[in-house]
């Protein structure tokens, strides 16, 4: 009898694309997790995988996302910007918009600001939970669900194992933000994200110890929102998993199938992934304007917002 496999995917912003490479490598070798959990970026990858999208299709979703579609700056009450784009995309890709409609059991961690505790949710409306799980405090607006206010699940539980550890014979933990030494910080944003990494590591470490297999792709050199590096980050996750594939086979107690071609989908091929998106002035730079890097254009946008706010 095959062992039941659970996989839990940590948060880490764009580094979360490494999860897609991990899933691709596993699928290619005949390893398909039965249960999926995730925090923040891991919740977005996890819900799409649990819905039946292939790693290839999920990667296309991330490549089709620009930094400008993520950031829609408004009055900074509960956060500088919101994640309405993520909400919209999840509802487009999973029209049923419920946990119960997914092909695999899926759970997402969120931080409840009202109670001061974390929750791992696996039922009810899907998009609002994924958005809440991905809402980095201050940067993204806190999300209201019922009478409570929620932010990024990674704040208190960046590697949710609670619902799937008891039902998994083998649990794979994927942490895309392992701590390494950083000697210099170039700006306030780097300092802030380093602080967030340290906070989340404190709740990741004890949970990794309860996993049977730990995969830590070396994607820490990438900034939180380097969306243009999606393929490179994906490949890092893929290679990190290949390096442990025989070990995973031993833990599973079965012979690993090598060089199995990856199918286009896990039972679902959705043409919406290939539909042409409407042009958006916010996401398409004027060809007459000087070309800036995504990070510099985002910084300019934030700067313009605060200048307009206080003038």
Catalytic residues: 40, 152
CA angle 218–129–173, rounded 5-degree value: 30
CB 61 within 8 A of CB 48: yes
CA distance 284 to 302: 17
The SS3 call for residue 241 is: helix
Torsion angle, alpha carbons of 301, 150, 102, 240, to 10: 60
Is 136 in contact with 196 (CB distance < 8 Å)? yes
Of the candidates 217, 270, 166, the one whose C-alpha atom is nearest the C-alpha of residue 26 is: 217
> What stretches of 71-147 show up as alpha helix (H) in DSSP?
84-93, 127-133
Task: Pull the structure tokens for residue 105.
Answer: 């059991």
Comparing C-alpha atoms, which of 112, 101, 122, 134 is closest to residue 12? Answer: 134
Backbone φ and ψ for 161, nearest 5 degrees, come out as: -115, -15
- Short-list 181, 221, 177, CA closest to 201: 177
d(CA 49, CA 117): 27
* Nearest C-alpha neighbor of 226 from the set 269, 190, 280: 190
Angle at CA of residue 17, ends 163 and 22, nearest 5°: 65
Where is 58: in which H helix or E strand? helix 55-63
């Amino acid at each position: 009898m095959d062992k039941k496999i659970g996989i839990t995917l940590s948060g880490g912003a764009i580094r979360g694309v490494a999860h897609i490479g991990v899933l691709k490598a596993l699928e290619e070798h005949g390893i398909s997790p039965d249960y999926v959990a995730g925090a923040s970026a891991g919740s977005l990858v996890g819900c799409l995988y649990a819905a039946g999208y292939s790693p290839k299709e999920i990667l296309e979703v991330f490549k089709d996302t620009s930094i400008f579609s993520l950031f829609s700056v408004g009055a900074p009450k509960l956060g500088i910007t919101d994640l309405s784009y993520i909400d919209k995309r999840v509802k487009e890709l999973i029209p049923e918009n419920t946990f119960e409609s997914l092909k695999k059991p899926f759970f997402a961690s969120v931080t409840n600001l009202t109670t001061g505790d974390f929750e791992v949710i696996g039922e009810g409306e899907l998009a609002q939970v994924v958005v809440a799980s991905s809402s980095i405090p201050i940067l993204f607006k806190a999300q209201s669900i019922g009478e409570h206010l929620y932010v990024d699940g990674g704040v208190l539980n960046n590697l949710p194992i609670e619902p799937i550890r008891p039902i998994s014979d083998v649990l794979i933990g994927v942490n895309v933000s392992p701590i390494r030494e950083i000697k210099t910080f170039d700006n306030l944003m780097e300092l802030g994200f380093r602080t967030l990494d340290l906070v989340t590591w404190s709740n990741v470490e004890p949970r990794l110890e309860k996993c049977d297999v730990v995969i830590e792709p070396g994607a820490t050199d990438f900034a939180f929102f380097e969306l243009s590096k999606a393929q490179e980050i994906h490949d890092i996750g893929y290679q990190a998993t290949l390096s442990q594939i025989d070990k995973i086979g031993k833990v599973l107690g079965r012979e690993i199938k090598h060089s199995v071609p990856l199918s286009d989908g896990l039972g679902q091929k959705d043409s919406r992934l290939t539909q042409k998106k409407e042009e958006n002035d916010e996401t398409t730079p004027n060809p007459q304007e000087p070309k800036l890097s995504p990070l510099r254009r985002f910084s300019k946008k934030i700067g313009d917002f605060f200048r307009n706010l206080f003038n």
